[in-house]
Amino acid sequence: MVKVNKIKIGDGNPLALIAGPCVVENEKTTLKTAEAIKSITEELGIPFIFKSSYKKANRTSIHSFSGIHFDKALKILEKVKKELCVPILTDIHSIQEIEPVAHVADVLQIPAFLCRQTDLLVAAARSGKVVNVKKGQFLAPQDMAHVIAKIETTKHKKILLTERGTTFGYHNLVVDMRSLQIMREFGYPVIMDATHAVQLPSKGNESGGERKFIYSIAKAAVAVGVDGLFLEVHPDPSRALSDAASQLPLNMLKNLLITIKQIDEIVKNEK
């Protein structure tokens, strides 16, 4: 079990939700989305961690939006944290980013493409923050044992593992639900990222996506038994500046969470 502030993740605790826009586009959209998700999760009794990236370092095209100014984005995330009293999760891309980001974020996320970067993993662990590692699209779930071992060299045990799909040929991903069970055997909470899992990577000048499969993947993962669900959520995905094709429309979130909570309760009551 890992605690993110007062939220207990794993060890049979209720499913936690990590959700928010892909990237900090501006203050208005970020706050609006965070407020809406908090309202929904409070009504449904679902623990909520707000997610948004201050920067998108991995973009298909050099012309793709990668974020606003670093300091400004962090201040917006800090405002969400203080005004709404919710924990914050955001990506880190280099060791130099860790110190300023750790002053704001409660969870430091290692992006999938960086999950084997030894120095970054170790430095994130030494920050003392919870570390969420996205399993690379190129890794088998068993390979996450090596990732965990690197973090544990610092005696750090506040680790989350996130599945986000595996490369399946060119420009496609597939989710092997066995990976959720395999990674759980390492003894740390497992999260399912149901929005990045529907991406169609590098389709032309940007990544595509098949949003219609978010519900199916999310429901299947919770039925298998995960500890948290990761969703990128946007008020108007068609106008999102990043991952427009794979973000969940905000107005669809509540219905999904109602179903997800029911499945989670059934699964955990069986144990």
pLDDT tens for 255-270 read 999 999 999 999 998 7
Asked whether 221 and 196 are in contact (CB, 8 A), the reply is no
Output the domain CATH number for residue 173.
3.20.20.70
Q: Which candidate, 46, 38, 37, places its Cα nearest to that of 16?
A: 46
Q: Assess contact for 90 and 51: CB atoms under 8 A.
A: yes
d(CA 227, CA 209): 25
238 has pLDDT over 70: yes
Rounded Cα distance between 151 and 140, Å, is: 18
How many angstroms separate the Cα of 83 from the Cα of each of 17, 35, 123, 191? 19, 9, 29, 26
pLDDT, residue 270, reads: 77
Mean pLDDT rounded to a whole number for the chain: 95
Beta strands 166-167 and 228-234: pairing type? Answer: unpaired
Report residue 205's pLDDT band, with 50, 70 and 90 as the boundaries: low
Burial 158-178 (b: 16+ CB within 10 A, else e): bbbbbbbbbeeeeeebebebe
What is the predicted pLDDT for the residue at 271? 61
Distance of CA 111 to the CA centre of its chain: 9
Domain that holds residue 66: 2-269
Confidence (pTM): 0.96
pLDDT at residue 204 tops 70: no
- Number of domains comprising the chain: 1
Predicted confidence band of residue 1 (pLDDT cuts 50, 70, 90): very high
- Check residue 66 and give its pLDDT: 75
- Average the pLDDT over 151-178 and give the result: 97
